[in-house]
Structure 1
């Protein structure tokens, strides 16, 4: 059963009045804020990281920030988006509506369509498209991947999920160990805000980790901390994808304290940054289509 509304199949780019660019000096990071139209009457703010490289295509990543479906914005996603940029990608980071389902997924799919239509302008001729996200954004990246598979468009080279928030039951051993005796849980509250009713938890676009059909999804890189609350659900999804015959790369960061909070821009330094950068670069290489002969 599809979500209530499908995004426009022909979104167009339109820079808002507040669009801005920085770092235009040669070799400096370039980040541009803009507003794009993803459906008639619906606009979304994005931040584009990186620039097209002359003579070769760059990976093009559509990125969703974290925040447990209750908080988060483009600034929250700077740490992870910056890692993709360092790995050589052009990144379109999305200020998606936080709640309720299915709006965030529909908006994400609309941005993916826009990125595909503008892939040559953004990443160069032959640019491949990836979906990526951390925590709640990891759930959205996985959901939009399922939606793209079902719509048979656009083609994806891979999905990259960092500490993805995938289990609305919030009852895995890793979550229980991390939360201890706490009476409140932000992930429980996040799922409560995201899902309009219990039946939404059965929808593969809301909870992609429980989708019955996984065949046809793109290659996947899953990264999670060893003491991360999302540890168990992330690796469980990786195992399901692998059982479906898909290419899966998984990496567990040792001593990665404060995950997934360490992925947010508010943190002074992400303890897994160096290791994540290596994994991302290798994944781009593993999933890169060979140049035509």
Structure 2
């Protein structure tokens, strides 16, 4: 259990986290529910979050601190970190099918999630942000579940690794070693996730390639000034705006990165206020 200090005269806000299993496309998946405030009562908003890791690594543990801070900032919401099948076990589209299955499971298990079913928001970072963007397309194409928003944090959206920031940034920054590690991780992840080259242009693998972006939920897209994924995030935001989707694209300042593992933590900390404000707008 985590506590956030409160102002004088206010009780501290507590966050409880509980492990559970969510139903994936072919079996159970690890999940962790984070909720703040009184245990009684159901929240209006559920945020389902998919972790990063380049489709080949990562776990629900990585989002613990970020999601706890998110729900403590607004106890009207609960957050569910959900796992998915990694590419080493089964490549595309296994993770996509898991992501959609988790959303369907959540709608059927509202009481277990302390959620009243009003608003469902999908979110993720890097590979998880790819899944969040893709599952927004899938939910639209398959008739549900209805989504109130999508939060894409430094999303991996271009398997071709063709953007200027991806191709040139590793060679031009003082933090070249760290940035090059990010670019290499993306390349290795895509090779494992999309072994069939033809899948690399499928809209469920590369939302940036989709020609059908209408009727999607409002989006918050977060890029970072010195991140190889910057350009594809901002290009996708521009395409959503062009399709008439209410979209906010925010570029964060250069992150104080010492090692690749600190990248996700830094951006989530920097972006917490932006994400909380976006979710609040969907109420």
* Fold shared by both chains (TM-score > 0.5): yes
Match of 1:255 in 2: 254
The answer on 1:71 being equivalent to 2:57 is yes
Query: Which deviates more, 59-68 or 111-120?
Result: 111-120
Are the counterparts in 1 of residues 46 and 119 from structure 2 also a CA contact under 8 Å? yes
In the TM superposition, structure 1's runs of 4+ consecutive aligned residues that sit over 6 Å from their partners are none
Aligned residues: 261
- Cα RMSD (Å): 2.6
TM-score (norm 1): 0.80
Question: Could you give the per-residue CA deviations for residues 169-223 of structure 1, whole angstroms, max 9, x where no partner exists?
Answer: 1132212233228598111111001013111112211111211100011000001
- Alpha-carbon distance, 1:156 to partner: 0.4
The answer on 1:286 being equivalent to 2:281 is yes
Unaligned runs of 5+ in 2: 4-11
| d(CA) in 2 for partners of 1:238, 1:68 | 21
- SS of 2:33's equivalent in the other structure is strand
Higher strand share: 2
Match of 1:14 in 2: none
Are the counterparts in 2 of residues 135 and 260 from structure 1 also a CA contact under 8 Å? no
Question: Could you give the per-residue CA deviations for residues 125-170 of structure 1, whole angstroms, max 9, x where no partner exists?
Answer: 3531001000110001111111001011111000000000111111
Match of 1:109 in 2: 100
- Are residues 58 and 256 of structure 1, via their aligned partners in 2, closer, same or farther at CA, if it must alter by over 3 Å? farther
- Alpha-carbon distance, 1:48 to partner: 0.9
- SS of 2:24's equivalent in the other structure is strand
- Are residues 262 and 242 of structure 1, via their aligned partners in 2, closer, same or farther at CA, if it must alter by over 3 Å? farther
Unaligned runs of 5+ in 1: 1-21, 289-293
Q: 1:208-219 alignment to 2 at 5 Å?
A: 208-219=207-218
Match of 1:277 in 2: 272
- SS of 1:92's equivalent in the other structure is strand
TM-score (norm 2): 0.83
